[in-house]
Amino acid sequence: MKYMLIMRATDEAFAKMGDIDFDEMLATVGRFNQEMIRAGVLVAAEGLDDANDGVVVDYSSEVPVVTDGPYGETKELFGGFYILNVASKEEAVEWAKRTPISGPGFKTEIRRVTEIDEFPQDNEWIRQERAWRESTGQL
């Protein structure tokens, strides 16, 4: 089963990260990533750019409204993610507990990634997506 570990932090926690030596942070996270690679569970991992450089598309009105970052009224920002292929949610939780970027203001949300096989296979859109995934080596 695949699980997404969504790395979240408050503005204050993100600000504290600015006090950490960047090379030291890369080494710390790199060691953690290597553990997951050696264990054969890491599928993907990405960090996200500063929220100030992002945009939000809000669909509350008939015409979507695009707003430049930073996001309004956000207590926690999504800073990056891991996708792990593990046997259970409990195993995903154990990996999340070991993440080196932790402390007050940091959280990891864990969500299972649904597989294409869980959708109705006789649906034309699912068949098209399956064909695309097969043609790109994703299946």
Going along the chain from its start, the domains and CATH numbers come out as 2-135 (3.30.70.1060)
pLDDT value, residue 73:
59
Long-range CB pairs of 54-61 (<8 Å, 24+ gap) are none
pLDDT value, residue 37:
96
pLDDT value, residue 33:
95
- 20 three-class SS: coil
28-to-52, 65, 66, 133 alpha-carbon distances in Å? 25, 39, 36, 34
- 53 three-class SS: helix
pLDDT value, residue 25:
87
pLDDT value, residue 16:
84
pLDDT tens-digit map of 79-115: 899 999 999 999 999 999 999 988 888 999 999 999 9
pLDDT value, residue 12:
85
pTM for this model (two decimals): 0.83
Measured in residues, the chain has a length of: 139
pLDDT value, residue 56:
83
For the chain, list residues with pLDDT below 70.
70-75
